[in-house]
Structures are given as structure tokens and as C-alpha cells.
Structure 1
């Protein structure tokens, strides 16, 4: 069993997730790059190997409880623990619709990926973190999920990210003082989801995620951050 810290990044094959994998690997962590498609995950991991660091592609569908349990069993066999969980995988549906016009199925699908997936993963891995007295959980949220400024943008997505923020608070309490659980607003980033007109690079979007994933003991927990600064909920 390795003593090298082990990090799992969901949606790690592209965008912010891929950059988080790259930065964590550069810091000497063993990174599990999780992707729904096995081929896409292997291709992304192979690209990161050229930059050094330990990156292993793993198959994961955050909507499928059996997939999560299979991965949890693999992690336990191979490493004996998970130290860091980055819940990055997400969907953005019906972006241009109003709350009245967004079909209920879009809300349900958004919650399944953006909230239930992180919930299942936390339930699979946080108990072990708490038992061992060390853990970091980073939920990649969005300014769209910030209640204090929420408007009409992408209602299904916004509602699911607000729910993810609530999960952050709940898990920060459940994990105890040595499992630090936080949310991140990475901003509008140039990814497949953000589009080419977004003003921020993936490096900028990933920075606070990596910072929270590698917090020292006594760091913040139960918070919402953008560019390493706290945000109101």
C-alpha cells in the first residue's frame, strides 16, 4: 500500500478536471483520472504521463451506484485509502430556457449528475477519510449556484449547483474537523462547457480547486471559494 497521497478527480479527461489532474500529479500525488469513457480516460492519462507524475485512468459513471462501488473497491485494494476527492463531473442542460420552460427531466438529470453523483462518492469515501483522520473533498460548483446572486441563468444547472453547495456544508459537518470539505466557483472558463469566449483559462479555473485539495491541517472547511477567497452562499 502506497503512502503517496491518492486523489480521485471525476470528469478528469478534459477541461478543468484534466488540468486539476495535471497540477496534482505535478505536486507528487497519485491521481486517479476518472472518466465515463474508458478510451477517453486512457488517452487523457497518457497525455499527462509525458509531463511526469503518476496518473491512472479509471472508469466511472457518477450516475451509476454500481460503478461507484466498483471503483471504491478497486481503490481500497490498490491503495488502501483515498485521500482527496474532487467532484468535478457535471452537465449543463437547457441553458437558454427559463425556469418555467425548463422540463422537469432536465432538473432531474442535472441533479443526478451534479448532486447525486457527488453525494454517492462522498458516502463511499468520506467515512474512510474520517476514520483515518485525513481527507480533502472539493466540490466544483459555480457562481450560478450562489443563492445571493442567483437570477434566471440555466435553471436546472443553477439549482443542482446550489444543491451541491448545500452538500458541501452537510459533508463538512459529517466528515469531522480533519476532513476538509469545500466548494469552488472556478469562474467562466474556456472549456467545452464554458465555450471559447470565456475569459478564464483552465489553469485559472483549476487553481483554487488544487489549493483546496491540498490544504494543510487546520484549513477552512464548509466554505465556498473563488480565486482562493471566500464567497457568500
Structure 2
């Protein structure tokens, strides 16, 4: 049995992964944005070991989620599932003055990773749309450019992939990988999605728990349990370090 923490697990792929894991006998701690969502999640997965509550669009609550989750640990694996979708019609500014898509999709996994004891495995959710991302930190908060929700999302998923590769490089004692789950019909993916919903959580569950040799790797990117192509910038150590420095500057938290 493994102990696993899943961010953003009150619905969608995070909830599906949680149900799969508890069905296999694992101990799972979940995360919901607020108390009402936590109550719904508790009803959906009554076997959960615990539920952490926090709105990870705010840096203070990213820290709080990490602290609360740590109290339920230690963990064999953490799945960074939390994220906002690509259909945001306008830029939304957080309480910290940041773009909400960047805050939730990029800063939350960064802060939670940096603020928790190292698990044995880390899984980050990216997207095939990361291939359309642009590595440009000069206006990562979209304060000068005209808002483009699709591009903001694609950029954030590229940053997630780069974060995974950076952590894998810096923490060689942890198995760190990323996943593109496919375009599936969750609330994030939308009703028009064409990929296999049932397959959506399979790879992250596999990477978090399996002892198959193919899952016991680090610094890789997967789609449906197979290695997947990545953006040309994803493995640039220089750009990874620039992203880490940018996140540290915004949050005051360094990944060591």
C-alpha cells in the first residue's frame, strides 16, 4: 500500500485517480478548494485518508495546503493534478496580483513541491498543448500583452513540464515525471473532448504506484503510459533555472 497526496482532487481526473487508488487499497489524501467542495469530495471518496482545504490561487494558501498535507503524511507519491483550463475568456488577477492561470497551474505545484518533505515519487500534469507554449517570462503575468486564454494555458503547461524536469534534475533520489492525460471530457477539458476519459487518470496512477520497470524512471514525459514528445525548450537547464528563479522571486520560496 502506498500513501499518496493528490492536489485538485475534488472532481475531474484528480477525483478519478483518487477513486482508482483507494479501490486498489492505497491511502489517499485529497485536496479541495473550499469547505463545500471538501464535503462533496468526502461523500465521493469516503475511504480517503484525509482532505486538505485551500485555494491555491493564493500563495499563502499554497503554503497552507503544503503544511496541512504534510500533517497527513509522509507520502510515497504526490500527484500535482490541480489546474485551470484553457477557456478563460479574460485575465483574472489573484489576491497576490498574479494571473490566476499562472498561479494555479505553475506556482501552486512549485510552492507545494518546495514546501513539503520529499516523497519517493512526484507526478506533474502537463498537456499536449504544452507544445504550443512559449517560454517567455518577461510578461508571464499577462499585464502588458492582450489576454489570450489558450496561450496562457499552453505556456503554463510548458512551465509545468519544465518544473518536472528541473525537480528531477535537482532531486535525483525522487522519481519525478510528467503526464499529458489527453483531451478528455472533464470540466477542464470541455464536452467536445475526444480522448478516452477512462484512460485519463491511468498514467499518473501508474507512475505513482507501479513497480513495473517502465514506471521506475525519472525526468520523463508520458502519454497513456508511453514516452511522449516534448517542447524543444523543456530540457534546457538554463531555462529551467530561469523558471525556478522566477517562481522563487514571486513567492519568496526556494526549491533546494
Could you tell me the TM-score, scaled by structure 2's length? 0.73
Provide structure 2 residue ranges, at least 5 long, that are not aligned to the other structure. 134-147, 231-256
Partner-residue secondary structure (3-state), 1:146: helix
Higher share of residues assigned helix: 1
Are the equivalent residues in 2 in contact too, given 1:62–1:68 (CA < 8 A)?
Answer: yes
Provide structure 1 residue ranges, at least 5 long, that are not aligned to the other structure. 97-101
Q: Tell me, yes or no, if structure 1 residue 61 matches structure 2 residue 55.
A: yes
Match of 2:66 among 64, 72, 78: 72
Distance 1:75 1:224 in 2: 26
Distance 2:35 2:85 in 1: 22
Match of 2:157 among 154, 161, 164: 161
Distance 2:10 2:106 in 1: 20
Distance 2:68 2:13 in 1: 25
CA shift at 1:182, angstroms?
A: 0.8
Q: What is the match of residue 196 of structure 1?
A: 191
Q: Tell me, yes or no, if structure 1 residue 90 matches structure 2 residue 83.
A: yes
Are the equivalent residues in 1 in contact too, given 2:2–2:209 (CA < 8 A)?
Answer: no
Question: CA separation of 1:217/1:201 partners in 2, compared to 1, >3 Å: closer, same or farther?
Answer: closer
CA RMSD, Structure 1 to Structure 2 (Å): 2.8
Distance 1:58 1:72 in 2: 9
Q: Tell me, yes or no, if structure 1 residue 171 matches structure 2 residue 158.
A: no
Match of 2:207 among 188, 195, 212: 212
Size of the alignment, in residue pairs? 213
Distance 2:206 2:227 in 1: 13
Partner-residue secondary structure (3-state), 2:198: helix
